[in-house]
Amino acid sequence: MRTGIYIRVSTDEQVKEGFSIRAQHERLNNFADSQDWSVVDYYIEEGVSAKDTKRQELNRLMKDIEDGKIDVVLVYRLDRLTRSVRDLYELLDFFERYNCKFKSATEVYDTTTAMGRLFITLVAALAQWERENLGERVRMGQERMIEEKQYPGGPPPFGYSYNKDTKQLEVDPVEAKVVEKMFDLYFDGFGEQRIADRLNEQGYKTRRGNNWRAKAVRDTLKRTLMTGEFSWGGNMYNDYTDAIIPKERFESAMKLRTSRRGAHPRTIRSSYPFSGFARCARCGAPMKGHSKHGRKKLDGTAPFYRTYICTRKRDGCTSKQINEESIDRELLKEIRKLSSEYREISEDKSLIKREDDHTQELKQLTRELNKVQGRRKKWQVAYAEGVISLDELRSHTEMDQEALSNLKMYISKLESKSMQLDYRSMANVLADFERNWIELDHMEKKSMLSMLIKSFDVDSDDLKPHKARERKVWVSNVEFH
């Protein structure tokens, strides 16, 4: 019979005795000679997994079978061809369709009988179970490594290096300075592409010596590992390694990212602190910053004014041009007023009682969450020690996962309610805002607004200002994040 010899090794199997390409080639040739079969071609896959049928040489073999060149496919062992029950069924149907037989040199199979097909299916099922079982063990091993603060594998993220002795991540001093610079530029109003451009201009390179790109900057800015926390498998591991960026600064950057979403890049970079926040109280359109020089004085100097004007002014909006100092002053007044109101509400005894009830319920749910997470680890240990089967582990894991999802949903809802009730904290935040505001420059004010305020309305009277009278300005409808 015309024979097609299929040989496959995955990367880790190349070093094992009996699975190397040379060993399979020799044994399969001897087997074909013993059966008086003529070898038409060899189909060799090196460093390729059998998890699916998307393999170049396997596809070439199937094409030759379609063309009627092959009468029998010969492999060293069934799992050389496939480890999937579904793929096995499809391949056997394909072989039968083109009247091609399948043989294993080390196992007794006969695909021409129902019993032979059943036996092959059972063995393939065992091969798939072994693969899934291995995957479970690998995941458990990785989780245990992370709990011991060891790195589970792969290139360490930018800013960190891998210590082969401790198997842990360590801060790379040179790369850490680049990460800190990224965050500094981000708080200065730079977007990811401009940060990448600035780093490239100043001669900073990626670990591989390439220029920085916006995506690489974005990935670094969003990576929680920069705070020393490690996210893996849906869980967060605190104090996993040393932090490059303080957690508070990282969270501020994430809030800033949220506030910038949808904003025009020019607004983000603008040195006008109220651009992107101030809205016209008359038509609802954004207000943009504008600067101009006044009339020259006798000494030759001219005053410099920073003002804001409605972006729909040319479309007929009747709002007036408003001085930046007036908006600054009136915004602080509104913040002071809101701070006082929140403080009064926070001292309401009925509200304090509701807040205490929420706090107690939140603590109870958090305890339940920790209990379920601890139970999951116990199931994994029990499986590793052979106390429970893989099916039992999966059943327990699925139930615990559902419990975790429900608990996290309840906690999230409760935290949202608690945040609405926490007027005392909001009053303190606004008081800090007021104290620090006058010390900040234009860009620092813009960053502070980004973290706290979504928008506010601005309006003024229609009278023309002059030396003896300023235009009256109102700030209202302050909306917080």
- The answer to whether 66 and 55 are in contact (CB under 8 A) is no
Distance CA 308, CA 277 (A): 11
Burial class (CB in 10 A: 0-12, 13-18, 19+), 446: buried
Distance CA 21, CA 40 (A): 18
Q: With helix as H, strand as E and coil as C, how does the chain read?
A: CEEEEEEEECHHHCCCCCCCHHHHHHHHHHHHHHCCCEEEEEEEEECCCCCCCCCHHHHHHHHHHHCCCCCEEEECCHHHHCCCHHHHHHHHHHHHHCCCEEEECCCCCCCCCHHHHHHHHHHHHHHHHHHHHHHHHHHHHHHHHHHCCCCCCCCCCCCEEEECCCCEEEECHHHHHHHHHHHHHHHCCCCHHHHHHHHHHCCCCCCCCCCCCHHHHHHHHHCHHHHCCEEECCEEECCCCCCCCCHHHHHHHHHHHHHHCCCCHHHHHCCCCCCCCEEECCCCCEEEEEEEECCCCCCCCCCEEEEEEECCHHHCCCCCCEEHHHHHHHHHHHHHHHHHHHHHHHCCHHHHHHHHHHHHHHHHHHHHHHHHHHHHHHHHHHHHCCCCCHHHHHHHHHHHHHHHHHHHHHHHHHHHHHHHHCHHHHHHHHHHHHHHHCCCCHHHHHHHHHHHEEEEEEEECCCCCECCECCCEEEEEEEEC
Distance CA 159, CA 448 (A): 27
Distance CA 316, CA 451 (A): 33
Active site residues: 10
- The answer to whether 136 and 390 are in contact (CB under 8 A) is yes
Distance CA 432, CA 20 (A): 69
Query: How many degrees, rounded to 5, is the angle at CA 361 between CA 360 and CA 367?
Result: 90
